[in-house]
Amino acid sequence: MRQHDTLFIGGEWVAPAGTGTIEVISPHTEEVVGRVPDGTAEDMERAVAAARQAFDHGPWPRMTFAERAEVIGRLAEIYAARQGEMAALITEEMGSPITFSNLAQAPQPLGMLQYYADYGKTFAQEEQRPGLFGPTTVRREPVGVVAAIVPWNVPQFVAMTKIAPALLAGCAIVLKPAPETPLDAYLLAEMVIEAGIPAGVLNIVPAGREAGEHLVSHPGVDKVAFTGSTAAGRRIAAICGEQLKRVSLELGGKSAAIILDDADLPGSMGMLAIASLMNNGQACVAQTRILASRSRYDEVVDAVANMVTSQPVGDPADPGTGIGPLVAKRQQDRVEGYIKAGMDEGAKVVVGGMDRPMDHGWYVAPTVFAGVTNDMRIAREEIFGPVLAVIPYEDEADAIRIANDSDYGLAGTVWTADTDHGMEVARQVRAGTYGVNCFMLESNAPFGGYKASGVGRELGPEGLSSYLEYKSIARLG
């Protein structure tokens, strides 16, 4: 039982304003494994005030990029020493299989810290440009106080897509972890203290929706960085639009994996399992629409079904587990509701269905649907669970059309023996992140979506740019 009675504000552990608590429940055992304060609007006020003090009067935004990069590098070293602890903690609080936690939940946030620590060593705050009337100085300055609001599925990954570039830019941050997964943020706070990041530069307040909206609308916040549902993203965008506040949004997805006729099915299934079922299917980039030509449709359905059934379902702490539980009872109900909807719409359950694989915990049966058309709910709406829909296409042009026939445009893949041709397909799909015979995210490349999948980009130089203001200074003489 991990008990936290304080919030991390102004570089200190402080008592919350209210008496409410958030219970963290194991998705596997359904037992309480942690308890933290439930942050209130008053707590958000204190956190924003601390961030404003750090930004308006503290040393952090006045340091050079290289100086901040050195501190971020120190944080990365501390993170590296504790990444195993971080991975295990995330598995405990949200049910991510420990193999995935050790592969992505902790190492990828560490990679972001290392990337921005290296990138900042030579990043120039000012650039001189010749002009028609004289030289112009282009200056890069931090945007200010950032509200970072993150979901529960990959809590450290998403938090670090915001924290790492914001720190390098010189911003101060208020992080609101999701109520389901606040424990990892407390471990991060311990690392921040050890790294010597100045007081108030990073503040952490776990809270629900009401306090989160108070943070978003706070006049002391200069930018909001949000990852979550498209519905919540629209609400946040509306608030930021009214206030002309900077905002970046990484939202939902319904990604399509196009399997071309020349694809090596047995060789592809291992990587496709990661791409489509990662984190128990609770990933915005998951490849949940599997597009197969009619000539190989039955063969692809069988391969996908075998791939899914080969993933052991069970205790997420067991290294042999491929698919663990969903994060909460409501998520279990939601995913089972989609399975029922697919059946009601006439899709065929090939494996899985409504029978739960475990008699405890928030598990659902990993499910593959065949006979799916792209107008069905299971093909159009983000399910956020281990449910795959195999959709037939007539030819390559039809496959690209189906991939693009979505409200979302976050990610996608193509599977082919001809990688050069795969690149041609990738260029025609309107998605922000794409893979040829794989799916992966690199810290040095931008991540984000088209259409309802969001606004703006994270990671890479583009991710840093969203935390900077650009000032042009012209001069004569």
Going by C-beta distance under 8 Å and a sequence separation of 6 or more, which residues neighbour residue 415?
257, 258, 259, 260, 263, 268, 272, 422, 437
284 is catalytic: yes
Tokens of 477: 């003489």
Q: 387-393 and 408-409 as β-strands: parallel, antiparallel, unpaired? A: unpaired
248: alpha, beta or left? (left if phi > 0; alpha if psi -120 to 50): beta
What are the strands, taking DSSP E only, across 244-332? 246-250, 255-259, 287-293
Distance (Å) of CA 52 to CA 192, 215, 440: 18, 13, 36
Cα–Cα nearest to 324, from 63, 94, 82: 94
- Catalytic-labelled residue, pool 171, 180, 284, 336: 284
Q: Nearest CA to 165 among 101, 113, 240, 92?
A: 113
Residue 133: Cβ within 10 Å count:
8
Token pair of 319 as six digits: 């290294």
Catalytic residue among 180, 250, 336, 396: 250
In one-letter notation, the amino acid at residue 247 is: V
Cβ neighbours, 10 Å, residue 299 = 13
442 tagged catalytic:
no
Distance of CA 351 to the CA centre of its chain: 28
Determine how β-strand 365-370 pairs with β-strand 387-393.
parallel
Residues catalogued as catalytic = 250, 284
